[in-house]
Amino acid sequence: MISLFAFIMVLGIVVDDAIVIGENVYTRYQKGGSPFKASVEGTYEVGRPVIFSVLTTIAAFTPLLLGSGQMGKFMRNIPAVVNTVLVISLLEALFIFILTAVGANPTVLLRSNLLSG
């Protein structure tokens, strides 16, 4: 039950990160960029602020891991779930989002020399 509460609590932050990156990518695409170029440049432009917003949230919840006693054991689930969800969401927003913007077509990525050495 505590894990579900932690997930619901962090859900808004998870969605906000993807929206910030997605809106920036969409704006660059509307200005005439290719889907791949818009996704890379749009993600790069707002990537640093998104990373730091996630890191500050992780820093705020991490001290709950240090609690002792019965309440400490009870509360450790919250930062464990919050931190895990935030890290996975950040990785998805920064890396997997680029693949979905180009339709996850490996030939597009190979032509752009992203995957080839």
Helices (H), the chain: 2-30, 35-61, 69-75, 77-91, 97-101, 106-111
pTM strictly above 0.85 = no
2-111: CATH topology: Multidrug efflux transporter AcrB transmembrane fold (1.20.1640)
CA-closest candidate to residue 75, choices 56, 90, 62:
62
Q: How confident is the model over 83-107, as pLDDT tens digits? A: 999 999 999 888 887 777 666 555 5
Q: How far apart are alpha carbons 53 and 97 in whole angstroms?
A: 18
Place of tokens 């932690």: 6
pLDDT band at 57 (very low <50, low <70, confident <90, very high): very high
CA-closest candidate to residue 43, choices 72, 65, 17, 69:
17
Is the pLDDT reported for residue 35 higher than 60?
yes
What is the CA 42 to chain-centroid distance, rounded?
A: 14
Place of tokens 């932050």: 13
Residues 95 and 43: beta-carbon distance below 8 Å:
no
